[in-house]
Structure 1
Amino acid sequence: MLLLTRTNLGALQKKLEELELDEQQRKRLEAFLTQKQKVGELKDDDCEKICELGAGNGGVVFKVSHRPSGLIMARKLIHLEIKPAIRNQIIRELQVLHECNSPYIVGFYGAFYSDGEISICMEHMDGGSLDQSLKKAGKIPEQILGKVSIAVIKGLSYLREKHKIMHRDVKPSNILVNSRGEIKLCDFGVSGQLIDSMANSFVGTRSYMSPERLQGTHYSVQSDIWSMGLSLVEMAIGRFPIPPPDSMELEQIFGFPVEGDAGCSQSSPKPCPPGRPSSSYGPDSRPPMAIFELLDYIVNEPPPKLPGIFGAEFQDFVNKCGPCFNGTHNSPQVHSFIKQSEAEEVDFAGWLCSTIGLSQPVTPTHGTM
């Protein structure tokens, strides 16, 4: 395992100077790197389990206390029956995460193998993931999703521009938040060998895959943007949006008739996606959709849109998360919805803490990113 020495710390701090950070972001990243120096070599016996945080993507995540350093971490355990050479390759590939230091990427402490399981130790985000917030909130307000969009775009841009990494698994459960108002990406595809080894456990994730990825064509950052757009619609309306809700269901969701429903289905309800209970987030009472029906829908039908209740800029942004964002002059970063969201003062930390019942720190990060 790669240990963070004074020399490495200095090099990583120097790399922070290349990023466009405000003073608060810089101080927090430097504080994280300084804390990380205390960790040393990670071992199974040094991690005291506190509670389970969640499960998915072939693994279980626990909140743990790292005894030697006193740090609270999130430890993801992935059970894999693989040869030692493959296991060692995965651990080596995961070391790239030590170089990934951004306000929009979950911090990485290290990875190791023990008793048939790969352990990935990460920064603990006390607000959990946005799919958990969605279950509590029912729907997430447009202004909040504006701040989420900014963070996801900046996180994806950082991974692509600084490390040539595509995320490959953008969805609400891989967007983590905390009581300071930070929004960060996790579980991105840094290890090709780990992706291959876990291929059989990714069935549920396919519901967020872009058409080109499902068809096996060239994977690009546009596939991540497509998944972000799908996730935004889900969080805005409170349920997975494939197939789209009809006008009757939209009225159930919002409590009043919704006009100009942006291409949402008017026909009899199609089945809901596999693995989605009828009580998912909103009043989705459709029978389960077979996995092949869902994949066929993603490949052959138009991507979901927002109903007309949302702002025109937000609707246009989501629409362009389909095949429309390409090239620097037509990128998500310069869309008017993002510019508008950057200018708005939004207390993301306050919204999160009131939604999920967290105590808010004295100096949270407000929505100015």
Structure 2
Amino acid sequence: MCICRSDPSGRLSFEGKLVIHATGVDFSSGQSFAINMDQLELYEDLGKGNYGTVKRVLHKPTKVLMAMKEIRLELEQSKLNAILMELDILHRAVAPEIVEFYGAFFIESCVYFCMEFMDAGSMDKLQAGGVPEEVLARILASMCRGLKFLKDELQIMHRDVKPTNVLVNRKGQIKLCDFGVSGQLEKSLARTNIGCQSYMAPERIKGESVGSLGAYTVSSDIWSVGLTAIEMGIGQYPYPPETYSNVFAQLTAIVHGPPPELPEERFSANARDWVDRCLEKIPERRATYAELLEHPWMIEDQSRDVDMPAWVAFAITQRDVKNTQGGDQSLQRPQAEDPPVDVA
């Protein structure tokens, strides 16, 4: 367990790990990221992530737009550990499929993270009507490469894979974000069930329902990839509408019902097989990231010319039209983030 100390000088010290202060963050590795509030011009709110709100800001010295997450501190060890985990991952996770980290600083009771601004937003707002198969394959390939990088290089599971945490920019790049609930791999197991229940694998839900620690493997994230794939492909959460606002019905459907599938009339046999391999109910039978990336559907994607910027521009237009007309995409996806219930 990490020990954190806050002192009157405006420093938040994670013993042996890093120190966050008003002008930046210093890691024990010797690497520093210097940035502060005086350098930033604040714009609109972008939304909420784990433990905090996110705002668009301009870094005035460099003219770079950034996404700044504000976390109001309640000095509880669990929250401080989550802050440390996310900062640690952000500064080590340098990969094309992971949001770039610019710096962090601490003022009074708040920690601020500055990260790459993905100007098209998150996939939960860009999937109205469903994503075309070729675009879907390109998005999922990026996701799997990013998740495989976290597992292989940093020994980390994301543990909160869902469309909200898949970001897009107008260049058509796809990047993962929000690692505040990520877990270090411990002999390939993590022993806490954190994350969004709507995308939890059956074994995670069953573990919670009997009050166990819910040990699970990396394959639990792969289940979440499969559900995310279907939601993006059809434009709505894959389980029936009656489960959206009823957590008991939702979790029961995940544990006891058949896994959802991509519709045969809209998607190829290879696409459907790829998703089916993610949504095996028995964890040991699920594909690995390496197997998913070597699947014929992903091989096809490598040989295709997909105009991702054009699709992003179209998706943004569709989103803006829907917002202007008062459409509510939240009606197409689960509302509840309730505590676990017994579905055994």
* TM-score, with structure 2 as normaliser: 0.72
Alignment correspondent of 1:300: 256
Alignment correspondent of 1:228: 225
| Structure 2: distance between partners of 1:295 and 1:342 | 36
From 306, 325, 339, the equivalent of 2:286 is 325
Structure 1: give runs of 5+ residues left out of the alignment: 9-36, 194-198, 244-269, 275-289, 359-369
Structure 1 segment 111-130 matched on structure 2, within 5 A: 111-130=104-123
Alignment correspondent of 1:31: none
Q: Deviations over 1:69-127 (max 9, x none)?
A: 432110122334224x6666555432332111101111112333334333222101111
From 158, 164, 170, the equivalent of 2:161 is 170
From 234, 238, 248, the equivalent of 1:241 is 238
Asked if the contact 2:126–2:316 (Cα under 8 Å) also holds between the matched residues in 1, the reply is yes
Query: Structure 2: which amino acid aligns with 1:238?
Result: G
- 1:192–1:241 distance in 2 versus 1, CA, 3 Å: closer
From 72, 75, 78, the equivalent of 2:71 is 78
Structure 2: give runs of 5+ residues left out of the alignment: 1-19, 185-191, 208-213, 319-344
Residue 350 of structure 1 pairs with residue 310 of structure 2: yes
Q: Deviations over 1:131-155 (max 9, x none)?
A: 11114xx211111001011001100
Q: Deviations over 1:340-362 (max 9, x none)?
A: 1121111111110132149xxxx
| Structure 2: distance between partners of 1:113 and 1:201 | 26
Residue 181 of structure 1 pairs with residue 172 of structure 2: yes
Query: Structure 1: which amino acid aligns with 2:222?
Result: I
From 30, 34, 40, the equivalent of 1:47 is 40
Query: Structure 2: which amino acid aligns with 1:49?
Result: L
Q: Deviations over 1:230-284 (max 9, x none)?
A: 11111111111112xxxxxxxxxxxxxxxxxxxxxxxxxx61412xxxxxxxxxx
Structure 1 segment 20-99 matched on structure 2, within 5 A: 40-83=33-76, 89-93=81-85, 94-99=87-92
Q: Deviations over 1:274-297 (max 9, x none)?
A: 2xxxxxxxxxxxxxxx11221121
| Structure 1: distance between partners of 2:178 and 2:49 | 11
- 1:129–1:212 distance in 2 versus 1, CA, 3 Å: same
Q: Deviations over 1:4-60 (max 9, x none)?
A: 9xx85xxxxxxxxxxxxxxxxxxxxxxxxxxxx9xx423334332111112243432
Query: Structure 2: which amino acid aligns with 1:271?
Result: E
Alignment correspondent of 1:314: 271
Question: Which one has the bigger strand percentage?
Answer: 2
| Structure 1: distance between partners of 2:299 and 2:249 | 37
| Structure 2: distance between partners of 1:133 and 1:191 | 25
| Structure 1: distance between partners of 2:61 and 2:45 | 21
Q: How many pairs were matched up? A: 276
Asked if the contact 2:127–2:315 (Cα under 8 Å) also holds between the matched residues in 1, the reply is no
Structure 1 segment 277-292 matched on structure 2, within 5 A: 290-292=246-248
| Structure 2: distance between partners of 1:240 and 1:86 | 30
- 1:88–1:189 distance in 2 versus 1, CA, 3 Å: closer
Q: Which deviates the most, 55-64 or 143-152?
A: 55-64
* TM-score, with structure 1 as normaliser: 0.67
Shift of 1:327: 5.7
